[in-house]
Structure 1
């Protein structure tokens, strides 16, 4: 039986996930955590096969937590479960080591499909997302810029768009302030803007906040 750990700070969401996964009889829920502290504390005591990780779980940025998980618990596969835009964040999390990305808007039956595919060694994204990513370059929508951004640049942009100052961005991502400033300059160049306000407008167009 596949051992699954649910990491989400919303009690109702955790209850729903537990119900769906248990009813599928494909996996066993071995624990539920609501913060990254609880997550790593649990993993230090018990081995799990799949971690169902909420992108915006409290304390540590989701992608930062993902990187830490891949470094410290490489045998545990991570399925990101999020309300954030799929075609902005899915590719970023997959690059960072996730085994799959599932939107909270997805049908509940998809959860079982995702767990089954990941448990079998595969990678999961929805067919709809695969098609959007494949045809993204042919559109004229703002999200075409996402292809130009690295995973770390997406993290920095999201935090800046959320109103974080350079110092706080640096602390959350384990960087120094000078590096954050470098990322800001690089982001403005890639997003073809020449000031911070326009950069935030571009972030809004990308649905980052």
Structure 2
């Protein structure tokens, strides 16, 4: 029996996963979490074999949770189930310790295959994700991290990842404190994060 913990902040998506898991012989739902912090706490208490993890959730991001769970002795296998298919998200999740990565619009047949594969310790990726991984290892030059950021926003993120405060960043870049705050807000929005710590974690995962 594969026991599964679902970590996702969208009730309707969790409902769909509940229905799918309920239709799968040899699979049972152990519990549900709505953020990364709760996912870690539930995984420690319920000890599921598999965690279906969204990457971006308010109150605790999935990447941090993946890193914590992957570091546990005999920790659960982790299958990322998310809307994000950009290179930054994919490779950050793999570096953190995920064994699989599928998109939320994956059909039931493919999702079932992914759940069973990762639940049994295999690695699996949806077609769109697999093509990115193949291209990467075929030697394609890596895409610049976070292409949606402007050069100024990227500079601010780089200084944030070094642990500098907004006031210090303003001095480093000869900008006003208000301008830096605006850039920080833009970075949060474009990276789909809710806190400075999450932005820094994503920047470091991307090698910034």
TM bucket (normalised to shorter chain) is 0.5 to 0.7
Match of 1:91 in 2: 91
Structure 1, 87-96 or 52-61: larger mean CA deviation? 87-96
CA contact (8 A) 2:4 2:48 kept: yes
Work out whether 1:144 is the aligned partner of 2:143. yes
SS of corresponding position for 2:45: coil
Aligned CA distance change for structure 1 residues 92 and 172 (closer, same or farther; 3 Å): closer
Deviations 1:47-77 (A, max 9, x none): 1100001111222222112111112364211
Match of 1:206 in 2: none
Count of aligned pairs: 165
Work out whether 1:162 is the aligned partner of 2:192. no
Give 1:45 deviation, angstroms. Answer: 2.0
CA contact (8 A) 2:80 2:102 kept: yes
Aligned CA distance change for structure 1 residues 160 and 100 (closer, same or farther; 3 Å): farther
Work out whether 1:71 is the aligned partner of 2:66. no
Structure-to-structure mapping, 1:124-203, within 5 angstroms? 124-135=124-135, 144-146=143-145, 161-163=187-189, 168-169=195-196, 171-172=197-198, 187=208
RMSD, aligned CA: 3.3
Q: Name structure 1 gaps, 5 residues minimum.
A: 147-152, 188-209
SS of corresponding position for 1:121: coil
